[in-house]
Every structure is written in C-alpha cells, then in structure tokens.
Amino acid sequence: MAYTFPIVRAVLAWLSIIAYRNKDKKPGEKLVSVSDVVKEYWATYGRNFFSRYDYEECESEGANKMIEYLRDLVSKSKAGDKHGNYALQFADDFTYTDPVDGSVASKQGVRFVFTDGSRIIFRLSGTGSAGATVRMYIEQFEPDVSKHEMDAQTALKPLIDLALSVSKLKDFTGREKPTVIT
C-alpha cells in the first residue's frame, strides 16, 4: 500500500502532460504519446542509459571478498587511469551524509566514475543466511540522437563488459550471469 500513492501520482502527472500536449488537437489528428514526449526530451537533453544486474544468493564469503578487492582497487586508483575507452574521473567507497540530521552511512557502494559521466557501482546487500546479493549498477549518458532508441543492454555492453572484467565477479562469485537484469 505504501507504493500506491507515488504510483498514482506518477500516472496522474503523465496524464496531465499528455492532456496538455494534446489540448489543441482536432478530432482525428494524431495525438502526442508518452513515447513522443520522451523522445523529444532525449533529443533536447540526451538520454541516460541505465541497467542493474542482481546476483542473488551468492556465497557471502566470495561476495565479501569481491567487495574488499574492489575497495583495494579503489584505494590504488587515480584520476586519468584508463579502463578500455574510459578514463577514470574518480573511484570511491561511497559515504552518505544525511543533510537533515547529519548521520553518516559509510560503505554504501564502490563507485567508478568516468570522465564522460559513465558510472559503475557495486553494492552488497543481504549477507544473511540465504547468501548475499551483489548489485551492479551501470549508467551512461548518450547525447547522440541517432543512438537514443538503442536497447539499453546493447548501448551499455562495453561498460557492462568493463564492470564484469574489473570486478572479477565471475571469479569471486562463480556466477556466469545475473539472476535479474533491470
């Protein structure tokens, strides 16, 4: 039930946008669709491709070793390091500081941020009795309009391959592929 209200608000927001964009249309004229609005936005501002790979119920020991390996790699990384076609802007183990109460949550994700704005993030969660879940987040900005309609997995493939290589995820977890891709 907690998710119902934000979902309803999102639907109402889109309905308002579509109603506004179609207010002057005559009967029989092609209506502006959500897809039209999104593509127009991408043409103006560019598109961010995003994907998340979840590796569920991994052996906790291997998953923890992978995160420790990545933290060690981060400690040795410096701006300008080359990873294939990507130049590193910075790498860190993200710490979140709440702007309201000042509380600090450390070790929230190992991040590799590149000079073109692309990001690779690794997070570990659920290290309980059922094993750990390794989450790999991939994001890349694409200003080229001719690439905006690409499938996200296709557009992100070079970055995904880099993330899998840098993390040695298969070596640490034994996983050939993710449980879930979003």
Domain range summary for the chain, segments of one domain joined by +:
1-45, 47-181
Q: Does domain 47-181 bear CATH number 3.20.20.370? A: no
Predicted pLDDT of residue 128: 57
Q: Residue 8 class from Cβ within 10 Å (0-12 exposed, 13-18 middle, 19+ buried)?
A: exposed
Q: What is the pLDDT of residues 106-137, one digit of tens each?
A: 999 999 999 999 999 999 987 555 689 999 99
Residue 39 has pLDDT above 80, yes or no: yes
Q: What is the pLDDT of residues 45-93, one digit of tens each?
A: 999 999 999 999 999 999 999 999 999 999 999 999 999 999 999 999 9
